[in-house]
Amino acid sequence: MGRVANLYASAVGGKSRAQADTSGREAVERGTKPLLEVDGVTLQYKTKESLVTATYRVSFNVYQGDRYILLGPSGCGKSTLLKGVAGFLKPVEGDIRLNDRHIDGPGPDRMMVFQEFDQLLPWKTVRQNVLFPMKTCGKRECEDKADAVIEKVGLSKFANSYPHMLSGGMKQRVAIARAMAMEPDILLMDEPYAALDALTRRRMQDELLMLWDDIRFTVMFVTHSIQEAIIVGNRILVLSPHPGQVRAELNSDAHNRENVKDSSFADLEARINDMLFAEHAVVGAQGE
C-alpha cells in the first residue's frame, strides 16, 4: 500500500498512508519477507457433472514490488489460482496469506482486473467507476486521487464518458486505473490483455511497465503467452496442467521489449516452451 501511495504524494499534499504498524509489515517493505504466501494450496470447483481439481499443492511467494507471472497452458488452473488469491474460491487444502493475514473472502486490498470488458459498471462514467469502490477517503481527496490515476492511464479526456463509448483497450485502462486508485496491497490481473488486438496489447504491456517504473506496485499477472510473460514479469511461475502444479519458478527481470531479438531471450522462451509442451506434447493448447 505504501509504495502505491507515492503516486498521490503530490495530488493529496504529501500525506503518507504507510503506517508501518508491525515489524512484519516493515520486513515486507524491506523485501526480507514475502507479501503474499501461497502454501500448499489445492483448489477445487464443482461443475454440473464433476468436481474439478484445478491446482494441486501449489506453493509460491510473492514479494513486494514483484511483477509475478502465472504462466501455463489452458487448464493449468492459473486463473483459478488467481481467484483463490482474490478470495472468490476457498482452498480445500493449504493456506493463502497476505501480510500474514489469512484470506477468507474478496476484498478491496486485492483489486482484480478481469479479462472481460464488461467488468466496468456501465451505469457509471469513467470517473465514477474509479470513484465507486473508494470509501476510505474524504470526497475531495478521493476525487483528486481518481483524477490522478485517470491521468496516469491517459484517459483524462474521457473521464466523463460512459464505458460503452470506449474501445476495448481504453476499458482495460479504466479497470487498471480503478484498481490502482484503491491502492491495493497486490494487483491481480487475469489475462487482462488477452481480448485485445495484438497492437493494442503490445502498447498496454509497455504502459503497464512504465506505470510500474513509476509507482512500483505489486502485481500478479496471469497469461498464456510466453512472450508476454517474459516481457511483463520479473518472476515467472510455470504451471503444468491437469491439475495445475508448479513446474518451475524462473527469473525474467533481465529481459524486456528491447532485447526480444537477443539469443538469451529466445533461450528462455524455448526453455519455457519445452517445459510446457515438449514433455506433454499438448498440441494447440497455446493460445498465441
Partner 1 sequence: MAVLKTSSAKTGGRTTRRAAEGIAAANEAGLEARPLITPPERPEIEGRPLDASNIGEVERPLSPWERLINISGVRRLLILVALAVAWQAYGTYVDNPLMFPTFVETMTALGTSILDGELPARALSSLYVLLIGYVIGIALAALLTSIAVSSRIGTDILSTLTSMFNPLPAIALLPLALLWFGLGIPSLVFVLVHSVLWPVSLNTHSGFLAVSETLRMAGRNYGLRGLNYVTRILVPAAFPSILSGLKIGWAFAWRTLIAAELVFGVSSSSGGIGWYIFENRNQLEIANVFAGLLAVILIGLFVESVVFRTVERHTVYKWGMQR
Q: Which range of residues in 91-99, 102-110, 152-160, 268-276 is near partner 1 by CB under 8 A?
A: 102-110
Q: Based on the number of CB atoms within 10 Å of its own CB, is 105 exposed (0-12), middle (13-18) or buried (19 or more)?
A: exposed
The reply to whether 111 sits near partner 1 by the rule CB under 8 A is yes
DSSP secondary structure letters along 19-46: ---SHHHHHHHHTSS-SEEEEEEEEEEE
Number of residues located near partner 1, criterion CB under 8 A: 22
Q: Does 75 bind partner 1 (CB under 8 A)?
A: no
Q: Which of 70, 120 has the CB closer to partner 1?
A: 120
Going by C-alpha positions, the residue among 152, 248, 251, 127 that lies closest to residue 208 is 152
Do residues 181 and 5 make contact, with C-beta atoms less than 8 angstroms apart?
no
Please identify, among the stretches 69-77, 95-103, 118-126, 147-155, the one whose residues bind partner 1 according to the rule CB under 8 A: 118-126
Instruction: Output the smallest distance, CB 69 to partner 1, in A.
Output: 21
Shorter beta-carbon distance to partner 1: residue 94 or 133: 133
3 state SS of 68: strand
CA–CA distances in Å: residue 257 to residues 79, 178, 226, 232, 261: 25, 26, 13, 9, 9
Tell me: does residue 284 bind partner 1 (CB under 8 A): no
Q: How far is the CB of 110 from partner 1 (least distance, A)?
A: 8
Q: Which is nearer to partner 1, 195 or 248 (CB)?
A: 195
Pick the stretch among 18-26, 53-61, 100-108, 191-199 that binds partner 1 (CB under 8 A): 100-108
> Beta-carbon neighbour count of residue 25 at 10 Å?
19
Applying CB under 8 A, among 119, 225, 234, 252 the residue interacting with partner 1 is: 119
Q: Of 172, 78, 160, whose CA–CA distance to 126 is shortest?
A: 160
101-102 and 93-98 beta bridge pairing:
antiparallel
- Rank residues 9 and 165 by Cβ distance to partner 1 and give the closer one: 165
Query: Least CB distance from residue 156 to partner 1, whole Å?
Result: 21
Residues 224-263 that bind partner 1 (CB under 8 A): none
Kindly state the smallest distance separating residue 169's Cβ from partner 1, in Å.
17
Q: How far is the CB of 107 from partner 1 (least distance, A)?
A: 5
Q: Are 87 and 110 in contact (CB under 8 A)?
A: yes
Using CB under 8 A, which residues numbered 147 to 176 contact partner 1? Answer: 162-165
In whole angstroms, what is the distance from residue 64 CA to residue 3 CA?
Answer: 9
Cell of 74: 489452458
The residues that touch partner 1, with contacts defined as CB under 8 A, are: 86, 88, 106-108, 110-112, 114, 116, 118-123, 132-133, 162-165
